[in-house]
Structure 1
Amino acid sequence: MFSRLLGAMNALGTVWIFLLMVLINSDILGRELFSTPVRGTTELLALSIVGIVFLQLGHALMSGRMTRSDMLIENLLIARPRAGRALQGIFNLLGVVFLVIIFWGSLALFEEAIEIGEYVGAAGDFTAPTWPIRLLILIGAAATGLQYLIMAWQDFRFVFAGEK
């Protein structure tokens, strides 16, 4: 069930990327053909990149596409599987800690964005609220932290169950 949620978040991020491509091309065509750019393109792009990253982060981790250096861990997993899984479990627990820190730090920023009505853009031209992206950061950090926790649990279950 959780993997389906991560898959849906990833799919939403992919659709969002497609919509950004349409926005960028519309802005370019508007500038070149009509000398009229699409207002807010720059602001929406800046916000969107952060939103997309946090939407797709958990799925990237779950599917093994998170960037990391595997030189030590891969050799250890082959030569000494229990030790390798223990080290990998520690790595995953550190991932949980890191995402909890991101979540905790972002929660205050989310609350502040709602409280003060924070927006990007120029009043009278184009403005967009920042709270939806800050909410996506919270959702993505929570989902990715939970995925790290699931992976740590699987690693330590392997280590302590005596499986080979």
Structure 2
Amino acid sequence: MQHLRALNDRVTRALLVLAAVLAFLLCFLVVADVLGRVIFNSPVKGTVEIVSLSIVVICYLQAGFAIRSGGMLNVDMFVGKASPRVQSVFAAVAALAGLVFFAIICWGSVDGAAHAWSSNEFEGEGALRVPVWPARFIVVLGTALAAFSYLLLLVQHCASAARGVGPGVAGASH
């Protein structure tokens, strides 16, 4: 189990770095588009399409890391007053809910990704058409990794509940 956690952490960190690089590169595209509009009265073609698809890609590339690092939304106003065992049980229930949520999104996204690939679907009209399939497959990858991250947390929190100890920092890898 420890090897799976370590592998998951390495993959989620790598995808986080990829998302950061993509966001950094998008900054240059947006600046070039604004300068092109203002100075040359000619924007960079396809900026809207590239940025809109890249935002989706960035979000789903970061989902697994957000879960493993404890960065997902967590309300513990009432849970914090419970015993450590009950806290672990609530954390396990929350991990199960996250697992189901992301697994459903993953399952529902597979057909769309396959269709985008087979039909050669593009976003945009005119001079620059951006293929949609990379973003669709990244949604599948990101949600699968998020579901797997929640599965690891579910196992961790169930083990904590069985031992009668608290969950610790929600989502933190140990």
TM over 0.5: yes
The answer to whether the 8 Å contact 2:84/2:164 transfers is: no
Match of 1:127 among 103, 123, 129: 129
Report the secondary structure of 2:72's partner residue: coil
Distance 1:153 1:134 in 2: 29
Give the ranges of 4+ consecutive aligned residues of structure 1 lying more than 4 Å apart after TM superposition: none
Unpaired runs of at least 5, structure 1: none
Residue among 81, 84, 107 paired with 2:84: 81
Give aligned pairs, total: 160
Partners of 2:33 and 2:44 within 8 A in 1? yes
**Using the alignment, how far apart are the partners of 1:74 and 1:58 within structure 2?**
25
How many angstroms does 1:72 deviate by? Answer: 2.1
Q: Which residue of 1 aligns with 2:170?
A: none
User: Which of 107, 115, 120 matches 1:117?
Assistant: 120
Output the CA distance in 2 between the equivalents of 1:142 and 1:51. Answer: 14
Deviation at 1:67, TM superposition (A): 1.6
The residue type paired with residue 90 of structure 1 is: V
| Structure-2-length-normalised TM-score | 0.88
With the length of structure 1 as denominator, give the TM-score of the two structures: 0.93
Deviations 1:3-60 (A, max 9, x none): 0110010111011110111100000111111111100000011101110000001101
Matched ranges for 1:8-27 at <5 A: 8-27=14-33
Q: Does residue 1:108 correspond to 2:111, yes or no?
A: yes
What percentage of aligned pairs have identical amino acids?
36
Structure 2, gaps ≥5 residues long? 1-6, 167-174
Partners of 2:79 and 2:49 in 1: CA distance: 41
- The equivalent position to 1:144 in structure 2, one of 143, 146, 167, is 146
Partner residue in 2 for 1:46: 52
Deviation at 1:68, TM superposition (A): 2.8
Tell me which protein shows more helix as a share of its residues. Answer: 1
